[in-house]
Amino acid sequence: MKLSKLSDDEYRLFEAEIKKILGISSVGRLLDKNFLLKVETKKRKYIHLLSDEVFFNLNILKKSIQKNDSINLKIAWVGIRLGFMSKKKFYVGIESIHFFSPYCKRKIILEKSKEQSFLYGRSVFINETDIHGSIISYEQPIMVFNNYNDPLGIGLVITDLPDNKMKLKNICDLGIYLRSEKTFFAQ
Amino acid sequence: MNTLKIDKDNFLKRMVSKGFELSKTHYNGCYLVEYEPFSITSTTEYLNGYCLLQAITSVVPPYSLLSQYETSNFKEKKVIDVAASPGVKTAHLARLMGNRGTIVALEKSSKRLPQLRANLSRLGVSNTIVVNFDATQVDKIPLYFDFALIDAPCTGTGLKIVKNKRTSPRRIYDVNRMAILQRKILESVWSNLAMGGIFTYSVCSLEPEEGECQIDDFISRHKNEIEVLPISIPKNFERLELKADILTNTEIVRERTIRFLPTQLSDGFYVAKIMKVGK
């Protein structure tokens, strides 16, 4: 696992994507005094968020690994995982939806029966009244909530269906913690 | 319940509306599930990380280590959690710390890391560095810790009766092997514990070699450097205590450390809380 800071380009990609998904104009308040860290594994480049204190202690650990080769120490996880970069695009991860949820200005709120289906990893039919906030483009992923305003996952609205129906395609949902906890979180 | 994500009243209201019956325990924010109409792990609340499930005895080590401090006291404090997977105690520590300070969670087995990662992210723990590292080599890390939670690897004989988890029998060889490993871990963590630092040592084993005798031995090695601190336990737990009078020489081990016997409510467990003081 390789840890490094985000390049300017990567930060711009991250910022643009977050703004689109959450429907906010600035990510400054969201990141506050925290640091963004790029964590590269064999599979993907992940972005993690950590406090200044955790960042400081992480650096001490990193330096000790560099100085002393005999320490077989591997950093496996740090702070909150916000998502991952792939093909010059940032994808929000399921691990961060609770962190992002208070800032979210465009969302879909599902009723109870649809909530259960969505948590089983299924796509569900929705009405326009389920969509809250202004939607600029349906091609953007959108965060999904239940009636209690708990985040459930991320979906994509599909509109080109017969009879003007709308479908919420499941991209990721919290049910992953039950369905594939061991495989999904393996690196 | 996880106060990092939801407040107590809101959580209770929601669980009661779903038909769950919860009763209060001695420990703030911890409830006994008296009745569940369906598995609590399939609720949106569980998936959202508003609660975590653990045996009532497993609450004792993190609670007794940190509960007497306000969350604001944990700024710039460092806590180490040894053998952290599946991360339930780590998450409990983070809750008590209000996600402040830093927790270094050690796990030697890479196979157990996915579960640890999943639990920490589900429960919204953000102050933790998870390290794939052998706990017997903590003294090689250039960090000094203010608190340490040593939930040491053990034979798990306390779990056997309650959960029937163990498929292979344990022999005296296993007890000896674990006792040696626990001794190494204790010494290693001790050397990186800051002056005035506190650690709790716990095992889910019924064997005195891993519990009372281990701590007795540790005290004899560090006679003038330690203070064994008392642990607060609920009144209705008194009946589960066993003082191992015959097994230990030190009176303080008999008086201040706690042994729980396995019952239908809880696992067999041993807990000791020790502070590092000057020579």
Tens of pLDDT along chain B (279 residues) come to 999 999 999 999 999 999 999 998 888 889 989 999 999 988 999 999 999 998 888 899 999 999 888 888 898 999 999 999 899 999 999 999 999 999 999 999 999 999 999 999 999 999 999 999 999 999 999 999 999 999 999 998 887 554 555 667 788 999 999 999 999 999 999 999 999 999 999 999 888 899 988 999 999 999 889 999 988 776 655 444 555 555 555 678 878 888 887 777 777 889 999 999 975
pLDDT: is A43 or B275 the higher one? B275
Element (H, E) at A115: helix A112-119
Can you give the pTM of this predicted structure?
A: 0.93
Scanning the structure block, which residue is given the tokens 């296993």?
B174
| Chain B residues within 8 A of A109 when measuring between CB atoms | none
How far apart CA B74 and CA B65 sit, in angstroms, is: 12
Measured between CA atoms, the residue of chain A closest to residue B145 is: A57
Sequence-distant (6+) residues with CB within 8 A of B179 are: B207, B209, B210, B213, B214
Question: What string of H, E and C letters represents the secondary structure of A72-92?
Answer: CCEEEEECEEEEEEECCEEEE
Please check the confidence at residue A23 and state whether its pLDDT lies above 60.
Answer: yes
3-state secondary structure of B31: strand
Using left for φ > 0, alpha for ψ between -120 and 50, and beta otherwise, residue A54 falls in alpha
Measured in angstroms, the CA of B135 and the nearest CA of chain A are apart by 10
Q: Do A61 and B116 touch (CB under 8 A)?
A: no
Q: Supply angle C-alpha B108, B110, B112, rounded to 5.
A: 90
Inter-chain residue contact B114 with A98, CB threshold 8 Å: no
CA A47 to chain centroid: 9
| Chain A residues within 8 A of B126 when measuring between CB atoms | 49-51, 54, 79-80, 99
Crossing angle (nearest 10°) for helices B88-97 and B56-66: 40
**Residue with the two structure tokens 């029937």:** B164
Residues of A in contact with B83 (CB under 8 A): none
Mean pLDDT score across all residues of chain A? 89
Of all residues in chain B, the one with the smallest CA distance to A73 is: B133
What's chain A's Rg over C-alpha atoms? Answer: 18
A-B Cβ pairs (cutoff 8 Å, strict): 125
**DSSP H or E run through B132:** strand B128-132
The amino acid occupying position A43 is K
Question: What are the chain B neighbours of A181 within 8 Å (beta carbons)?
Answer: 114-115, 118
For residue B220, the number of C-alpha atoms closer than 13 Å in the C-beta half-sphere is 11
pLDDT reported for residue A134: 75
The residues of B assigned a catalytic role are: 204
d(CA A182, nearest CA chain B) in Å: 5
Q: Which residue has better confidence, B151 or A2? A: B151
Q: Would you say the C-alpha torsion A30, A34, A36, A41 has a positive or negative sign?
A: negative
Strand partners, B106: B131
Which residue in A53, A73, A175 is closest to B131 by CB distance?
A73
- Written as six digits, the tokens of A8 are 């300017």
B124 with A50: Cβ contact below 8 A: no
pLDDT of residue B35: 94
> Which pLDDT score, from 0 to 100, does residue B240 have?
46
Sort out which chain A residues have CB atoms less than 8 A from B127's CB and list them: 51, 53-54, 79
C-alpha A186 chain-centroid distance? 17
Q: Using CA of residue A37, residue B128, residue A183, residue B45, what is the dihedral sign?
A: negative
Helix (H, G, I), strand (E, B) or coil at B243: coil
Residue in chain B lying closest to A184 (CA): B114
pLDDT at A29 over 60: yes
CA atoms within 13 A on the CB side of A124: 23
**Strand ranges for A25-135 from DSSP E:** 35-40, 45-50, 74-78, 80-86, 89-92, 107-109, 124-126, 131-132
Task: Inspect the interface and report whether the beta carbons of A183 and B14 lie closer than 8 Å.
Answer: no
Q: How near does any CA of chain A get to the CA of B133, in Å?
A: 5
Query: What gap in Å lies between CA A119 and CA A111, rounded to an integer?
Result: 12
User: How do B226-229 and A107-109 pair as beta strands?
Assistant: unpaired
> In this structure, what token pair is assigned to residue A99?
């962190």
Q: How far apart are CA A155 and CA A102, in angstroms?
A: 17
Least trusted range by pLDDT, from A46-60, A132-146, B52-66, B112-126 = A132-146
